[in-house]
Amino acid sequence: MTMPVLADLLRWLAETPPEFREDPPLAAVLGDLLESLGHPDMDAAALARGEAGLKPRAERNRRLWILAACRLLWHPSFRLSVLPADGLRHLFAKELPGVAAITAADALITEEDRREELVRRTLRAVGMGLAGETLLESEDRFCQVDSVEGRLVARGAAERERRAREVREAMAREAARMAAARYSSE
Query: Roughly how many angstroms between the first and final C-alpha of the chain, as a whole number?
Result: 84
Question: Which of 5-9, 51-55, 150-154 has the lowest average pLDDT?
Answer: 150-154
In angstroms, what CA-CA distances link 91 with 97, 98, 110, 121, 133? 9, 10, 22, 8, 22
**SS3 state at 127:** coil
DSSP state of 74: T
* Better-scored residue on pLDDT, 70 or 183: 70
Give pLDDT tens digits for 125-136.
998 888 888 888
Per-residue pLDDT band at 87 (split at 50, 70, 90): very high
The pLDDT of residue 19 is 80
Calculate what percentage of the chain has a pLDDT beyond 90: 27
The pLDDT of residue 9 is 92
**SS3 state at 106:** coil
8 A C-beta contact, residue 73 and residue 91: no
Q: Which of 117, 133, 159, 145 is nearest to 10 (CA)?
A: 117
> Mean pLDDT throughout 95-124?
90
8 A C-beta contact, residue 142 and residue 101: no
